[in-house]
Amino acid sequence: MIDNDDMLHRVDRHYLGPTGLTFPFRLRYAAFGLGAVIFVTVFVLARAIVHVPLGFKSLVVMAAITVVLTARVTKFVNADRPIRSVFKAAWNDLTAPRPPKPGQTVVLRIPATVRAHRSAPIEGESSR
């Protein structure tokens, strides 16, 4: 544990296993909850959409997918960047408008409110 003056960062947020029988690796507490949510999501997707049969091999594959996805997501998570902001940043990146591809036709649509204001005469101008 790093000794610093910030009490929030002084807390060790890792689960090392039961007393006397520690794991050979460190697991963050946040990874347990996220892993459970990811496993349920992978399980529902595999069973309901892909129609994977329920068996030992399929559960092992689902668990392996869960471990990989949890490790990839929690790599970006720390005290300054919570899980919610990582997902929000990923969503914003996926839904951001993209520039048109070369050669693609671009259609500009002028909203009706702008057209209505443009057709009205400007103060001081005479309409013919």
Q: pLDDT tier at 2 (50, 70, 90 boundaries)?
A: low
Measure CA 15 to chain center: 24
Contact 100, 108 (CB under 8 A): no
Is the model's pLDDT at 29 over the cut of 80?
A: no
Q: Cβ distance 70 to 102 under 8 Å?
A: no
Residue 60 has pLDDT above 90, yes or no: yes
**pLDDT tens column, 83-123:** 888 889 989 999 998 888 888 888 888 877 765 555 556 66
- Residues 6 or more apart in contact with residue 94 via CB below 8 angstroms: none
For the cut 90, the answer to whether the pLDDT of residue 40 exceeds it is yes
Higher-confidence residue of 125 and 62: namely 62
pLDDT at residue 14 tops 70: no
Q: What are phi and psi of 28, to 5 degrees?
A: -75, 145
Question: What's the DSSP call for residue 95?
Answer: H
Q: What is the pTM of this model?
A: 0.59
Do residues 39 and 61 touch, judged by C-beta distance below 8 A? no
Q: What is the SS3 assignment for 28?
A: strand
What's the pLDDT band for 31 if we cut at 50, 70, 90?
confident
Please answer whether residues 75 and 90 qualify as being in contact, where contact means their C-beta atoms are separated by less than 8 angstroms. no
